[in-house]
Chains A and B, each alone.
Chain A
Amino acid sequence: MNLSNNSIMLEVKNLNKNFGKVQAVKDVCFDVKKGEILGFLGPNGAGKTTTMRIITCFIPATSGTVKVCGFDTRENDIEVRKRIGYLPENNPLYLDMNVLEYLKFVGEIRGLKGAKLLSRIDEMLNVCGLTKMTGRQISKLSKGYKQRTGLAQTMLHDPEILILDEPMTGLDPNQIIEIRNLIKNIGKEKTVIYCSHILSEVSATCNRILIINNGSIVASGSPEELTSQITQTGGYVIKLKGDKTQIKEKLSLVEGVSNIRISEAGEWLEVFVVSGKEDIGEKLYKCIFENGWSLAELKRHSATLEDVFTQLTKG
């Protein structure tokens, strides 16, 4: 098989999954290339975990196909499983084992043996910063170390595709940065699918994002593309001093302004101007200058991924 940098590692076509009468996944199509970190984003209950469970061969799809490195999940599930490293939601672990025993067990199931197994375990312990914890019982590890143990498990057999379902839950900011860098490093050579409902996480780590809501994909693209593609409205935040009614009256006459909200912040007034896509900063400044109001702040409010997300998943 051709494993050049553009080869498609995962191909999902017209995926549907019904649980009784509830349709959890509706006609989902996407593919992931080698070296991509794909963010799979959606509110809780959107169908992220269900999609991941289908890809990892835990449950079958109602209809549609999933191919991992060219192998179909229905026809050749063992080959698919060999190529995937999966960290399920909430990072389940065998708590009564110690870290080393656990990794040995996983390695054996993955078909690693002898010196190869030991060198892989050693490498994973190093990569995940677990070298001092090998003899610790997993139940006694802190949340961060548990998470690392889970990650070590997913990467132990050097999989082509890494699927991480909410890998950052319960980590402190330092640990998040560490694990984020780890994922970015892996993503250079491998393919990573990263599920989350936290936007900042996904936009900081991933080079492509899929947003899923109620079982269907509602948007896809790079974080920048998504922000510009979807937001039709912009806005300005102005902080100034002057007569409230006058300000409202004069500013709404400025060309391009569609709405104005004013709130008081101490002796200053905070004005939020809703406008179209075009830049009207200069016009606003002229209006303020002509009326002689003292100005403390005038800044453009650009739409963030949060806005995109809320807009797409709440409508």
Chain B
Amino acid sequence: MQNIIAIFKKEFKSYFISPIAYVFITVYLITTTFLFFQGFFIINQADMRGYFDLLPWVFLFFIPAITMRSWAEEKKMKTLELLLTWPVKDYEVVMGKFFASFVLLFVVLMLSITIPITIAIIGNPDIGQIFCQYLGALLIGAAYLSIGLWISSLTENQIIAFILGVVVIFLLFIISTPFVTMALPSFIVPIFTFLGLGSHFESINRGVIDSRDIIYYLSVIGFFLFLNVCSLSSRKWE
């Protein structure tokens, strides 16, 4: 646990040493707030549905940008050899890096709290639903992070890690959208709907917390973190 904390601290700090965190926070808040309020007064509903509908698409580009350097940089700078010969277990390093990126995501989402406050001032939103939507955003964000981290561990090139991350997350997201399921034979549709990252988010976005959705996201996170540990251990497989 102590090791996870040490790695977490180092990783979290390194987001703020480089401009990554600041650029991320600023650009994210400006774009999402702008996109949301653009339609907010036209729809004239005191809720955040529009905001959270956008989120999976915004995250699609923002999250691989956070994770792309996590492992790729360590590989390129050869610091991985240092890190993995210190008295830490591979999974501890993976967890440390994951938590660091997760807390960054948490901070960013918390900064967007100005939106529900604004809505609460001018209207009468359902606080329970908004809370639920934030929880959903954290879950889908964490799932994206675990995928992005895994992809980053496969390459030493940050740009490749970013692009591959976007592609993989995109594919996992769209397989449950009607756009894809329409074209599929009907017996596969439930499987794709279950596996896709998007369908589970939709129900949370409606304000329904279903344990199945939470378990789904936790499994996705667990699965990709496991793949991440495997890709670190692959150096031992020759």
Q: List the interface of chain A (C-beta within 8 A of B).
A: 18-20, 53, 56-60, 62, 78, 81-82, 84, 86, 88-90, 92-97, 101, 105-106, 108-111, 153
Most chain A Cβ neighbours within 10 Å, of B6, B9, B13, B235: B6
Report which of B17, B84, B89, B236 forms a contact with A97, defined as CB distance below 8 A.
Answer: B17
Total contacts A-B at CB 8 Å: 70
A56–B7 Cα gap in the complex (Å)? 20
A153–B86 Cα gap in the complex (Å)? 11
Main secondary structure of the interface of B (DSSP, over half): helix
Most chain A Cβ neighbours within 10 Å, of B2, B5, B86, B238: B86
A96 touches B85 (CB 8 A): no
A210–B236 Cα gap in the complex (Å)? 26
A58 touches B2 (CB 8 A): no
A111–B3 Cα gap in the complex (Å)? 8
B88 touches A109 (CB 8 A): yes
Report which of B78, B82, B238 forms a contact with A20, defined as CB distance below 8 A.
Answer: B238
B85 touches A81 (CB 8 A): yes
> Given contacts A96-B18, A109-B3, A109-B6, is CB(A58)–CB(B86) below 8 Å?
no
A92–B238 Cα gap in the complex (Å)? 24
- Confirm or deny: B185 has a beta carbon within 8 angstroms of a beta carbon on chain A: no
Instruction: Tell me the residues in window 176-200 of chain B with beta carbons closer than 8 Å to chain A beta carbons.
Output: none
CB neighbours of A153 from chain B (8 A): 82
CB neighbours of A82 from chain B (8 A): 87
CB neighbours of B235 from chain A (8 A): 58-59
A90–B77 Cα gap in the complex (Å)? 10
A78–B88 Cα gap in the complex (Å)? 7
B1-41 vs A, CB cutoff 8 Å, 1 = contact: the mask equals 01101110110011001100000000000000000000000
A105 touches B6 (CB 8 A): yes
B236 touches A78 (CB 8 A): no
Main secondary structure of the interface of A (DSSP, over half): loop
Report which of B5, B78, B84 forms a contact with A90, defined as CB distance below 8 A.
Answer: B78
A298–B30 Cα gap in the complex (Å)? 84
B13 touches A86 (CB 8 A): no
Q: List the interface of chain B (C-beta within 8 A of A).
A: 2-3, 5-7, 9-10, 13-14, 17-18, 77-79, 81-82, 84-89, 235-236, 238
A94 touches B79 (CB 8 A): yes
B17 touches A96 (CB 8 A): yes
Using CB atoms, name the residue of chain A closest to B85: A56
> Given contacts A18-B238, A20-B238, is CB(A109)–CB(B87) below 8 Å?
yes
B81 touches A92 (CB 8 A): yes
Q: Closest Cβ of chain B: how far from A113's Cβ, in Å?
A: 9
Using CB atoms, name the residue of chain B closest to A94: B79
CB neighbours of A57 from chain B (8 A): 85
Q: Which 6 A-B pairs have the closest CB atoms?
A: A108-B6, A92-B78, A81-B87, A56-B85, A92-B79, A88-B81
Using CB atoms, name the residue of chain A closest to B80: A92
Using CB atoms, name the residue of chain A closest to B77: A92
CB neighbours of A88 from chain B (8 A): 78, 81-82, 85
Q: Closest Cβ of chain B: how far from A152's Cβ, in Å?
A: 13
> Given contacts A59-B235, A97-B14, A101-B13, is CB(A106)–CB(B86) below 8 Å?
yes
> Given contacts A78-B89, A82-B87, A86-B85, is CB(A111)–CB(B2) below 8 Å?
yes
Q: Please name 8 pairs of A and B residues whose Cβ atoms are closer than 8 Å in the assembled complex, sorted by A.
A: A20-B238, A59-B235, A62-B238, A92-B79, A105-B10, A108-B6, A108-B9, A109-B86
A229–B17 Cα gap in the complex (Å)? 56
Most chain A Cβ neighbours within 10 Å, of B10, B77, B78: B10
> Given contacts A84-B85, A109-B88, is CB(A96)–CB(B14) below 8 Å?
yes
A235–B89 Cα gap in the complex (Å)? 56
A234–B235 Cα gap in the complex (Å)? 47
B87 touches A78 (CB 8 A): yes
Using CB atoms, name the residue of chain A closest to B5: A108
